[in-house]
Structure 1
């Protein structure tokens, strides 16, 4: 069993427990459920193109930074020109929680991507209830039919969808209703990074699809290479979060590009 399989097995347990404690109707009564969402598609076109991530830890890197607050980091990301904020809500493997989004939602005015492993429609109501604007769908743990269904549900709830792929086979998960396609430079099964592989996949997408390079962007040179190859967005977390002061790291990166 690889790490992705372990995560999904645990996620199924987590969702089952959540369903037993909070109903969808209760989620619909939350403060943020009725709010108008921000568009990441539009924000990518008008700002830096960077979706800056708040991430405490990962299975491959262990603890990255557990000393800073989501509000401090997300506010700085917005102030220095991020197009969006990605926030991990998985607890067991990434050290995240709903509270990480709830603590910043009223304080920033750019899209928030709920980054998690979405396998059940219940999770989409949960995402809407905490103020998410965009949902991550990971092709590696979903069927094309599930991607289509979850995309429709996200749109019904007013949220956009970022479909994440890593292999040529996963191109089959794409459908015309997908808002953005993220190509993960890092293989979720063995965590190896290959930027050239991502470029090859991007070139197989329709020309009008907004593409996002995800993970494994470790330098300005990596960023510039992917930008030159036509990527519209760049999801970056570890590059900033590994610093004692992620806000300063982000500000410096923006000034250098």
Structure 2
């Protein structure tokens, strides 16, 4: 079903379904049991997850390459895409960080995709991209090997968002806090690790990259800023960087290519040419 044809707010539909999923997961594995598994994993780690914020601030390109097989508005993008292959190809092509969709119903993702990427040798920071509404999902993110999580202002009350940021930090993960419109800018004072501006309206799924330019000056000047969605050419990345952005989350542009890793390498090559004086 193409949700864009429905007379409804897509985000509300997704969040309602997500709540049902969380309830089912908690019945299958109670929070206390999952917490024990997470604590066991953390105790065995030789070092904490790599910092996505630090990677973006130090990068000359800032590309966050996304593993995204499907979207609610466009259907399957790369149904045969393998998490044990494409994320590693992104790393080899020069990505600064990765984003992996873990929502199954609407995006064709799984938590196991992050585990598979790690098993293939990926060491870059990985963003757990889902619609997080519960502390339980933070445990899931930490257990599968994520470095950071996405929190979306549009589907969280501010106090709930504050609580989730605090717990993510306790678990050793960073937070990319996503905002879309000026009405959500007060969430910025929660001081997440990274400030995201989504160029896609999550109610309609209409994309406008100019949204990042409109919002750039409203974000903290010294914050790590990420522009998300609708980015498809090096010139746009360069203009966004000049506007103060450090990270550029791109998924469909690469995933639509026959070889996403090769397309990323080509894009980064063009980006470096643009950057030359």
TM-score range, shorter chain: over 0.9
Note if 1:45 corresponds to 2:51.
no
Q: What RMSD over aligned residues (CA atoms) do the two structures have, in Å?
A: 1.4
* TM-score normalised to structure 2 length: 0.89
Contact 2:254 2:260 in 1 (8 A): yes
More helix by share: 2
User: Distance in 1 between the 2:207 and 2:81 partners?
Assistant: 27
**In the TM superposition, what whole-angstrom CA distance separates every residue of 1:87-125 from its partner, at most 9, and x where no partner exists?**
000000000001111101231111110000000111111
Instruction: Quote the residue 2:213 is aligned against.
Output: 199
Instruction: Quote the residue 1:242 is aligned against.
Output: 256
Task: Number of aligned residue pairs: give it.
Answer: 257
Instruction: Quote the residue 1:111 is aligned against.
Output: 125
Return the offset for 1:220.
2.0
Segments of 5+ residues of structure 2 without an aligned counterpart are: 1-7, 272-277
Contact 2:57 2:224 in 1 (8 A): no
Which of the two has higher C-alpha Rg? 2
Instruction: Quote the residue 2:94 is aligned against.
Output: 81
More displaced 10-residue stretch of structure 1: 164-173 or 68-77: 68-77
Instruction: Quote the residue 1:213 is aligned against.
Output: 227
User: Distance in 2 between the 1:98 and 1:83 partners?
Assistant: 21
Equivalent residues in 2 for 1:120-199 (5 A)?
A: 120-199=134-213
Instruction: Quote the residue 2:37 is aligned against.
Output: 29
Instruction: Quote the residue 2:3 is aligned against.
Output: none
Name segments (4+ residues, structure 1) moved above 6 Å: none
**Partner SS for 1:114:** strand
* TM-score normalised to structure 1 length: 0.96
Contact 1:32 1:131 in 2 (8 A): no
User: Distance in 2 between the 1:242 and 1:22 partners?
Assistant: 36
